[in-house]
């Protein structure tokens, strides 16, 4: 049973006693009572959990919810770009790609898709989303959320007809998200070490 549960149970017992009309004599009513204060534990990304106050705990919970939203956005982005790469790219961004990406990230993805379309190439083989976890540093870079992403394309290749143009690899990056209007979008990224995937 966690400290918060104990605090809630203790408060409920105290409240039940006062609501039930329990009274004591004057001597017992003047005795000091222990106050129960709920405790919170904050777990910074990559850090050691430690006690914290309600404010940082609330901020951490909000960041975790935003990271979950970013994960859903990234999964849509991954599915869309993978499908477009398999189809041979695209000269312009699809509606779905515009819904889930913006800024430099959209420009980079679209450049890859345009190159595939121009050269008559496409991706074949297996491309898997291997890692998708919350990453630190979003606010320091001016973004709302950050995810560490590892994509395993080691069993994929870029082909032009029957000719293999290049072989896939393991790619790791930190993807940064921000809102455009009301939509959360992948906005920028920086390379990460694929060895940690």
Domain assignment of residue 92, given as a range: 51-196
The total of structural domains in the chain comes to: 1
Is 89 within the bounds of a domain?
A: yes
Half-sphere exposure of 58 (CA within 13 A, CB side): 3
Is 39 within the bounds of a domain?
A: no
- The encoded tokens of residue 61 equal 């919970």
Is 3 within the bounds of a domain?
A: no
Is 17 within the bounds of a domain?
A: no
Give the whole-number percent of the chain exceeding pLDDT 90: 65
Is 73 within the bounds of a domain?
A: yes
How high is the mean pLDDT of the chain?
A: 84
SS3 12: helix
**How would you label 113-132 residue by residue, b for 16+ Cβ within 10 Å and e otherwise?**
beebbeeebbbeeebeebeb
pLDDT tens profile 134-162: 999 999 999 999 999 999 999 999 999 99
Asked if the model's pLDDT at residue 20 lies above 90, the reply is no
pLDDT at 49: 86
Of the candidates 9, 22, 188, which has an alpha carbon nearest to the alpha carbon of residue 101?
188
Mean pLDDT of 2-25: 32
∠ CA 36-42-44 to the nearest 5 degrees?
175
pLDDT band at 35 (very low <50, low <70, confident <90, very high): low
CATH of the domain at 125: 3.10.450
Mean pLDDT of 92-102: 97
């Amino acid at each position: 049973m966690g400290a918060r549960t104990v605090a809630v149970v203790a408060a409920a017992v105290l409240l039940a006693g006062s609501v039930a009309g329990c009274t004591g004599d004057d001597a017992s009513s003047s005795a000091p009572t222990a106050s129960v204060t709920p405790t919170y534990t904050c777990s910074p990304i990559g850090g050691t959990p430690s006690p914290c106050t309600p404010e940082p705990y609330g901020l951490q919970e909000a960041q975790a919810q935003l990271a979950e939203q970013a994960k859903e956005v990234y999964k849509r982005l991954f599915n869309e770009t993978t499908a477009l790469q398999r189809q041979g790219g695209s000269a312009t961004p699809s509606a779905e790609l515009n819904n889930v990406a913006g800024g430099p990230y959209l420009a980079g993805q679209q450049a890859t898709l345009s190159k595939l379309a121009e050269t008559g190439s496409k991706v074949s083989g297996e491309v898997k989303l291997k890692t998708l976890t919350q990453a630190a540093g979003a606010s320091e870079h001016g973004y709302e959320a950050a995810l560490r992403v590892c994509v395993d394309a080691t069993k994929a290749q870029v082909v032009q007809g029957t000719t293999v143009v290049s072989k896939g690899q393991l790619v790791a990056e930190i993807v940064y998200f921000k809102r455009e209007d009301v939509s959360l979008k992948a906005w920028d990224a920086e390379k990460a070490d694929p060895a940690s995937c």
